Amino acid sequence: MKSAMTKIVAAISYIFLIFIPSVVLGDLRTDILRNAAKEFIYNTVPFETRTDVKKVKLGEKLFNDKNLSLNGDIACASCHIDKFGSADGLPNSIGVGGKGVGVERIKSGGVIVPRNSLPLWGRAEEDFKVFFWDGKVEKREDTLISQFGRQSPSTNPLIVAIHLPFVELREMIIDTDVVNTTLKSETVESASKIYYTLLERINNNQNYRSAFIDAYNIKPSELEFIHIADSNAQFIQDKFRIRASKFENFVTRKSNLSSSEIQGGLIFFGKGKCVSCHNGKHYSDFEFHAIPFPQIGFGKNGFGVDYGRFNVTHDPKDLYKFRTPPLTNVENTAPYGHSGSAQTLKEAIIYHIDPLRLLKTQQMSAIERNEYYRKLLASNNILLKTSFLDDNEIHQLVQFLKTLSFD
């Protein structure tokens, strides 16, 4: 009797759906998507940008100045390029010795930096508190954790994060014999020597010195490296502030989305479970998760290995985990993953739900396969929770992700 009643209810429901006008179903889907966005994404007070014009202009000059690297051959702008959505368009960045942009840097014979360059969108906002793939700079309540330990130059995590590339071998320092013998000690004191050298260059440049004195209202003797970092932060805050995306304009009813984009959004918030990690206005929970992206290049730990968050915490539970990447302007920041092994958004999604589909095991050595098995084991929590998506659903999800861009 119960089975027969269930069939009757199902039949009536099906007939009812047939006679619901498609426009009503469309309105229902858009309402569901807007409500989900308001609950999981746009649920905080917008950050009010406060920048100083003089400091921004000064920061822009420094951001593009190669003389602000120890060897004088690379600038911040070398790896954070407008053309690539403020990243560099490469799987692994090319640091010192590189010339040109994009593929040109690979051909130039520059030194490889073993991780994918991170874009800069929204990094200056107050709620952006975890920096770099492994979270080596992080602010927890009133405590700032970084390689500086108790000698942190600032309580602002962005300003602390800006300090690090200047003292990073391969990234902005050529690993010469002099560097090896005098600076390669992994101490704050060694870093301070480099900051002092760069500060002296600024002090010896009359235009820079005058600009700093004017912008910060200080005496020449009061100029410190933190002023350089702060002006860079001001520039990043101004240039890479989060703007209204196509999706945000949809949520605020300023524009519409296509049927495919809407369906992709419903997958993002529903079946795909993407929002469980990609939430908040930065589309990141700022937590650390293991996703089985293949390793390209030698990796942070060498020999094709990158232990990710473990390198910071030394906790075995953090092996192969990386910070959830924000999705702001994501269409323009390819390739994806800590090693840049996903060339497209479609590939990035597949590595979350069906990584073996893309893996060319025949081209891997036995050691590489063993390493990948460990990644799969570390990521089993994610793989078991995610739902299967067919190619059409993946396409719709990609279409939705593209609405998060504004360039």
pLDDT bin (cut points 50, 70, 90) of residue 15 is very low
Q: Tokens representing 19?
A: 């006679």
Per residue in 74-112, pLDDT tens? 999 999 999 999 999 999 999 999 999 999 999 998 999
Residue 20: the pLDDT is 54
Looking at residue 76, the DSSP 8-state letter turns out to be: G
CA gap 23, 39 in Å, rounded: 24
Q: Facing residues of 173 across strands? A: 169
Q: Average pLDDT of 50-69? A: 95
Report cis status (omega within 30 of 0) of the bond before 157: no
pLDDT bin (cut points 50, 70, 90) of residue 54 is very high
Residue 21 has pLDDT above 60, yes or no: no
> How many other C-beta atoms lie within 10 A of the C-beta of residue 207?
9
Q: Average pLDDT of 237-242? A: 95
Q: Tokens representing 402?
A: 């593209």
The more confident residue out of 64 and 362 is 64
Q: Average pLDDT of 301-324? A: 97
Residue 386: the pLDDT is 87
The average confidence (pLDDT) of the chain is 91
Q: Average pLDDT of 310-317? A: 97
Residue 355 has pLDDT above 70, yes or no: yes
> How many other C-beta atoms lie within 10 A of the C-beta of residue 363?
7
Per residue in 388-400, pLDDT tens? 999 999 999 999 9
Residue 19 has pLDDT above 70, yes or no: no
Per residue in 174-204, pLDDT tens? 988 777 777 777 789 999 999 999 999 999 9
Output the CA–CA distances (angstroms, integers) from residue 34 to 29, 44, 255, in the order listed.
Answer: 9, 15, 12
Residue 383: the pLDDT is 87
Note the CATH architecture for domain 53-239. Orthogonal Bundle (1.10)
Cβ–Cβ under 8 Å, residues 135 and 325: no
Per residue in 137-183, pLDDT tens? 999 988 999 999 999 999 999 999 999 999 999 999 998 877 777 77
Q: Where are the domain boundaries for CATH 1.10.760.10 in the chain?
A: 24-46+244-402, 53-239
> How many other C-beta atoms lie within 10 A of the C-beta of residue 314?
9
For residue 67, the one-letter residue type is: N
Residue 384 has pLDDT above 90, yes or no: no
pLDDT bin (cut points 50, 70, 90) of residue 385 is confident
For residue 386, the one-letter residue type is: T
pTM given for the model = 0.90
Residue 12: the pLDDT is 38
Chain centroid to CA 61 = 24
Residue 18: the pLDDT is 45
pLDDT bin (cut points 50, 70, 90) of residue 339 is very high
Cβ–Cβ under 8 Å, residues 352 and 291: yes
Continuous H helices in 254-354: 259-269, 310-313, 345-353
Cβ–Cβ under 8 Å, residues 389 and 272: yes
Phi-psi region of 41 (alpha: psi -120 to 50; beta: other; left: phi over 0): alpha
Q: Average pLDDT of 345-355? A: 97
Q: Tokens representing 352?
A: 């979350």
Q: Average pLDDT of 333-339? A: 97
- At the topology level, CATH places domain 24-46+244-402 in Cytochrome Bc1 Complex; Chain D, domain 2 (1.10.760)
Dihedral in degrees, nearest 10, Cα atoms 384, 390, 393, 397: 50
Residue 2 has pLDDT above 50, yes or no: no
